[in-house]
A = this chain, B = another copy of it.
Amino acid sequence: MTGIESAELERLHAYWRATNYLSVGQIYLRDNPLLREPLTLEHVKPRLLGHWGTTPGLNLLYAHMNRLIKLRDQPTLFITGPGHGGPGLVANTWLEGSYSERYPSVSRDERGMRELFKQFSYPGGIPSHVAPETPGSIHEGGELGYALVHAYGAAFDNPELLVLCVVGDGEAETGPLAASWHSNKFLHPERDGKVLPVLHLNGYKIANPTVLARIGDTALGDLMRGYGHEPLFVEGDDPHAVHAQLAATLEQALDALAAGEHPMIVLRTPKGWTGPKEVDGTPVENTFRAHQVPLAGLADNPEHLAALEAWMRSYKPEELFDEDGVPLVELTDQAPEGPLRMGAIPQANGGELLEDLRLPDFRDYAVDVPSPAETSSEPMRVLGTFLRDVMRDNMRTFRVFGPDETASNRLQALFDVTGRTWQAETLDTDEHLAPDGRVMEVLSEHLCQGWLEGYLLTGRHGVFNCYEAFIHIVDSMFNQHAKWLKVTRDIPWRAPIASLNYLLSSHVWRQDHNGFSHQDPGFIDHVVNKKAEIVRVYLPPDANTLLSVADHCLRSKHYVNVVVAGKQPCLNLLGMDEAIAHCTRGIGIWDWASNDAGSDPDVVLACAGDVPTLETLAAAALLREHLPDLKVRVINIVDLMRLQDDSEHPHGLSHGQFDALFTVDRPVIFAYHGYPWLIHRLAYRRTNHGNLHVRGYKEEGTTTTPFDMVMLNDMDRFHLVMDVIDRVPSLGSRAAHLRQQMVDERLRHRAHTREHGDDPDSVKSWVWPY
């Protein structure tokens, strides 16, 4: 059915007028919300901060979607790409009642309306964007580009859900958004929900036209069809004509979705529609000038104040709200009820729906460790067997995401129980593709991250496995997600969601055939700038510690967990019981690698990360062999945040604990996985910081052997021994001799590598320490 009665259309139009009125009120007013008296400067905010331009379009779509929800009982999540349309979403949720349920002091009456207006973009009030504070939102539109990928993430494994995703034409110019349209190839017709993208072409960014608004409908239609979406055009600047068109088109789109098609809507309406046509003789409506506040400088400009009043009165508030400022029932009746209201849909507060994963006992996947460093395994491959069974037992609430690297990262056991999500053509020579696959691979870190965010925010669990260097591609998306977690932690009605788990492999030290462009351990540095309550960093040195860490991360909530783990063969160091104990402490002395026998050591060798741990153990062995009287303590760190003090991070060690481990006056030679200065930044307050000497990746690399890599960065076992000798006074001539031996060893190894490459024997000798 595509007709709409004119009476219904009138009611819809009134609803739209109401939300437009409430939006303008938020941007401008701090008093006189119903315009009971003539508008004066006293009623207006001293500083006008907000964005009108995108708002009327959002209000239009929300009103029309309400109608469809009621018609079809269709649970719908509304995703607002143009986050600057904050006033619109706040207005709509207030009008439907969901806002006041979350914020009772902002009641649905005149007093509440005054509060609604004043709080907007006001100190101590609410942000100007669609934000975590906004009921019904899983998406902060401040940094543009991720609306559509969040929409798809929300739809996965939510077969009953429709996600209406408004994409601004500014946002549509970003790379992540341009790639997101292809997400339709990863949506299963039965298992997953539906996504209806609406490209809102209001034509302008801050100061410019948008690209997609000026390429013409033919090219735009081609583009959307090329992306696999069937475009439906709605266009106009006459409200009544647009209402009729949009209502019909939305119904058509929902029918198409139900038929398994991929429609999308191009909505071309003026920027700042229904706002001032012009200001001071310059056109405003339908130009870039409508982006923020069309009328400004009210204090110095009485005509602007009058124009504002006329603008607001043009919505006829007296026909929309009763004497007490309560919206008329003809309006509120148009909104759906209860959880069908888009401000109250449970999926937008995913923590409320979150169920713990059913986790098999990770101990069952342990590798046998008869004694430390006797056997070896590929930690990521071992983890794969655990993740396989996590997947098997959580086939509706768990997914693994990665840019075509799941097998490269050695997690292929997953393919025993599920495939790679793939709806397109499949050939005989393909492997592990399946329309209902739950491993989501696409060569876009942006899509992997965004899908996972949408999936987590709607109450599910997941893991993002990625090459370590290229996780920087989503630095900025991580920022925004960490900000979301930080803010929602303090919003009482927002329930905690599952943690975002990064599993970074193919790390900096093992880019044997990819080289310098693939070498960057700096994501950890990036992550630790965010709030301590949110971020966790783990560097398990072997297979069993990785299992223990992974189990912990999958149980945790509302964190970002960064786990860096090796995929190459690596010595098994700890049996499962020891691994659990070590991971629980997060940091500890390894007695079996130390010879200080509980007394004061002469030197501390600390390490974090699989390769640094190997080199440290080898250095300790060299020292034991050549300088048996030197008392060496070996400390391994799994939980990097233990290094910070307990006033800075909840995982931080107290100063007493730290001093007991690292001593207050002995040299500490620290081999670290990443950039060495991060350790100083974490530990600068520690008593013994002056004796802390850190080796790590100092941006030296190329396509070369793993041992050459540690040598290039002075983190090899030989150099660590030299560091010890240089820092422990009066070791005598034997040490001087050993130091020279180490220098010679390095030269010999370098020459050998250059001449012979990396033959199996030299790899073997590299792994050796015991």
Most buried by B among A49, A125, A473, A479: A473
Contact A128 B703 (CB under 8 A): yes
Partner of A480, one of B142, B226, B517, B526: B517
| Contact call B123/A531, Cβ cutoff below 8 A | no
Tell yes or no: A129 within 8 A of B by CB: yes
- Partner of A175 from the list B47, B50, B176 (CB cut-off 8 Å) is B176
* Residue from A83, A522, A760 with most neighbouring chain B CB atoms (10 Å): A522
**Could you give, for residues 657-691 of chain A, a 1 whenever the CB lies within 8 Å of some chain B CB and a 0 otherwise?**
00000000000000000010110110010000100
A contacts with B: majority SS: loop
Nearest chain B residue, comparing its CB with the CB of A754: B124
Query: By the criterion of a CB under 8 Å from any partner CB, how many residues of chain A are at the interface?
Result: 127
Q: How far is the CB of A696 from chain B (nearest CB, A)?
A: 11
Q: A46-B758, A143-B473 are in contact. Are A129 and B480 (CB under 8 A)?
A: no
Whether A472 lies near B470 (C-beta < 8 A) is no
| A129 touching B515 in the complex, CB below 8 Å, given contacts A143-B470, A443-B144, A680-B681 | yes
Given the known A-B contacts A446-B174, A476-B475, are A758 and B226 also in contact in the complex, defined by CB atoms under 8 Å?
no
Would A142 and B514 count as touching, CB distance under 8 A?
yes
CA gap between A128 and B757 in the complex, in Å: 14
A693 and B705 CA atoms in complex are apart in Å by: 43
Beta-carbon contact of B173 and A175 below 8 Å: no
In the docked arrangement, what's the CA distance between A316 and B446, Å? 45
Asked whether A224 is an interface residue with its Cβ less than 8 Å from the other chain, the reply is: yes
Stretch from A207-215, A584-592, A593-601 forming part of the interface with B: A207-215
Tell me whether A171 is interfacial, beta carbon within 8 Å: yes
1/0 contact trace for A173-192 toward B, CB 8 Å? 11111111010010000000
Given contacts A472-B475, A758-B46, contact A404 B143 (CB under 8 A): no
Query: Measured between alpha carbons, how far is A595 from B660 in the docked complex, in Å?
Result: 44
Number of copies: 2
Instruction: Check B516–A483 contact: CB distance below 8 A.
Output: yes
Q: Which residue of B lies closest to A474 (CB)?
A: B476
Q: Which residues of B contact A223 (CB under 8 A)?
A: 222-223, 225-227
- Chain B CB within 8 A of A283 CB: yes
- In the complex, which residue of chain B has the Cβ closest to the Cβ of A171? B443
Decide if A251 is an interface residue (CB 8 Å cutoff): no
Please determine whether A205 and B487 come into contact, CB atoms closer than 8 angstroms: no
* CB of A399 within 8 Å of the partner chain: no
Residue A241 at the B interface, CB < 8 A?
Answer: no
Shortest beta-carbon distance from A476 to chain B in Å: 4
Provide the bound-state CA to CA distance between A515 and B50, in Å: 11
Q: Tell me if A174 and B407 are in contact (CB < 8 A).
A: no
In whole angstroms, how far apart are the Cα atoms of A514 and B131 in the complex?
11
Q: Which of A374-382, A420-428, A713-721 contacts B (4 or more CB under 8 A)?
A: A420-428
Would you give the 0/1 interface string for A502-520, flagging 1 where the beta carbon is closer than 8 Å to chain B?
0000000000111111101
CB-CB under 8 A for A531 and B175, given A50-B513, A205-B404 = no
Per the bound structure, the CA–CA distance linking A269 and B210 in Å amounts to: 36
B675 and A680 within 8 A (CB): no
Cβ of A122 and Cβ of B224 under 8 Å apart?
Answer: no
Interface residues as binary, A742-756 with B (CB distance below 8 Å gives 1, 0 otherwise): 000000000001101
B526 x A475 contact (CB < 8 A): yes
> A472 with B479: in contact, given A174-B443, A223-B226, A513-B121 (CB under 8 Å)?
yes
Contact of A703 among B126, B214, B703, B754 (CB under 8 A): B126
- Identify which of residues 196-225 in chain A touch chain B, using a CB-to-CB cut-off of 8 Å: 205-211, 214-216, 219-225
**Which residue of the partner chain B has the closest CB to A681?**
B681
Is A702 engaged at the interface, CB distance under 8 Å to the other chain? yes
- Tell me the minimal C-beta distance from A459 to chain B in angstroms: 23
Contacts of A208 in B (CB 8 A): 404, 420, 422, 430, 433, 441
* A741 interfacial by beta-carbon distance below 8 Å: no
Task: Looking at the assembled complex, report how far the CB atom of A197 sits from the nearest CB atom of chain B, in whole angstroms.
Answer: 15
Query: Once the chains bind, are A758 and B47 in contact (CB under 8 Å)?
Result: yes
- Whether B681 lies near A753 (C-beta < 8 A) is no
A175-B444, A516-B127, A757-B46 known; A226 vs B225 contact (CB < 8 Å)? yes
CB-contacts of A130-148 with B (<8 A): 131, 140, 142-145
Q: Which of A514-536 contact B (CB under 8 A)?
A: 514-518, 520, 522, 525-526, 529-531
Q: Select A228's contact among B182, B219, B224, B447, beta carbons within 8 Å.
A: B219
From the candidates B46, B143, B174, B473, name the one contacting A760 in the complex (CB within 8 A).
Answer: B46
Across the interface, do B689 and A684 meet the contact criterion of CB distance under 8 Å? yes
Smallest CB gap from A293: residue in B: B513
Known: A175-B174, A286-B429. A470 touches B476 (CB 8 A): yes
A730–B660 CA distance with the chains assembled, in angstroms: 33
**B703 in contact with A442 (CB, 8 Å):** no
Q: How far is the CA of A678 from the CA of B677 in the complex (A)?
A: 10
Task: State how many angstroms separate the Cβ of A166 from the closest Cβ of chain B.
Answer: 16
A45 touches B757 (CB 8 A): yes
Complex CA distance for A660 and B228, rounded to whole angstroms: 66
Is A5 an interface position by the 8 A CB rule? Answer: no
7 more contacts with CB within 8 A, not counting A205-B404, A680-B681, are A46-B760, A47-B757, A123-B704, A173-B442, A175-B179, A215-B424, A473-B475
Instruction: List 22 A-B pairs, Cβ < 8 Å.
Output: A46-B757, A47-B758, A121-B703, A124-B704, A140-B517, A142-B518, A173-B182, A173-B444, A174-B175, A174-B179, A208-B433, A214-B424, A220-B226, A222-B226, A223-B227, A283-B429, A472-B475, A486-B699, A529-B675, A531-B699, A681-B681, A684-B684
Residues of A within 8 A of B (CB): 30, 45-47, 49-50, 83, 121-129, 131, 140, 142-145, 170-171, 173-180, 182, 185, 205-211, 214-216, 219-228, 283, 286-288, 292, 299, 404-408, 420, 422, 424-427, 429-431, 433, 441-447, 469-470, 472-473, 475-476, 479-480, 483, 486-487, 512-518, 520, 522, 525-526, 529-531, 675, 677-678, 680-681, 684, 689, 699, 702-705, 708, 753-754, 756-760
